[in-house]
């Protein structure tokens, strides 16, 4: 995982813990919240892995039952061990496997972010996440104004908080930090939306950021 990708996700977790007045937070506050954010990610990964393990055990039990109840094994002597039987992969099993893959990927990502943040050699992750938060701290009214201007028909205070925070992070990078190519910033914002927000969030966020990019001549 790239350090800045990890930093964006960490910044998103960080933003989720802010109240409406980010100006109330100092650098020390941000350091403390970063630690809490890492704990949140680690706890979430732990829960996700437990969920995935539970699903795997359930699937194994169902396969065992299917095997035991197959006519091949029902016709074998009671003391004989079951033999493998032909089994087609059903749509239900495919769906469950896809869910477990998604959960496992999410858990691994969370653990990677936690590792990146705590390793001394990877302090870039923590530093960049805090830089995003500090930039928003300094320009919160302007950034929220940009979101409001480009969210026609939406009250910024009534936007899904996750969407609002993703937009804040992306606009911090596009308008003020300017260390990352525009396309990367947008793509990463859309990935966060797909992972954490509603089904319609990615298209909404993409539309807002497209307007911001055009209005500011960003290339």
| 157 vs 131: which has the higher pLDDT | 131
Which range marks the domain in which residue 139 is found? 3-215
Task: Tell whether the torsion through CA atoms of 160, 163, 169 and 174 is positive or negative.
Answer: negative
> 147-200, pLDDT tens digit by residue?
999 987 776 666 788 999 999 999 999 999 999 999 999 999 999 998 888 878
CA–CA separation, 107 and 198 (whole Å): 19
pLDDT > 70 in the chain, percent: 84
Q: How many structural domains are present in the chain? A: 1
CA–CA dist 138, 178 (Å, integer): 15
Q: What CATH number does the domain containing 11 carry?
A: 1.10.940.10
Rounded Cα distance, 78 and 103, in Å: 39
């Amino acid at each position: 995982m790239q350090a800045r990708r990890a930093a964006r996700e960490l910044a998103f977790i960080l933003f989720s813990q802010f109240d409406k007045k980010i100006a109330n937070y100092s650098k020390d506050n941000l350091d403390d919240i970063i630690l809490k954010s890492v704990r949140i990610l680690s706890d979430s990964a732990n829960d996700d892995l437990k969920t995935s393990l539970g699903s795997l055990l359930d699937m194994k039990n169902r396969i065992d039952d299917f095997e035991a109840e197959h006519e091949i094994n029902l016709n074998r002597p009671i003391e004989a061990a079951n033999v493998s039987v032909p089994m087609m992969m059903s749509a239900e099993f495919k769906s469950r496997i896809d869910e477990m893959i998604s959960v496992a990927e999410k858990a691994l990502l969370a653990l990677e972010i936690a590792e990146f943040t705590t390793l001394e050699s990877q302090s870039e992750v923590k530093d960049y996440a805090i830089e995003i938060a500090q930039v928003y701290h300094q320009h919160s009214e302007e950034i929220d104004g940009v979101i409001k201007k480009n969210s026609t028909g939406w009250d910024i205070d009534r936007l899904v908080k996750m969407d609002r925070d993703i937009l804040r992070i992306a606009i911090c990078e596009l308008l003020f930090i300017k260390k990352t190519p525009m396309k990367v910033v947008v793509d990463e914002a859309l990935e966060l939306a797909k992972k954490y927000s509603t089904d319609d969030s990615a298209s909404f966020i993409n539309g807002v950021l497209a307007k911001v990019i055009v209005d500011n001549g960003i290339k």
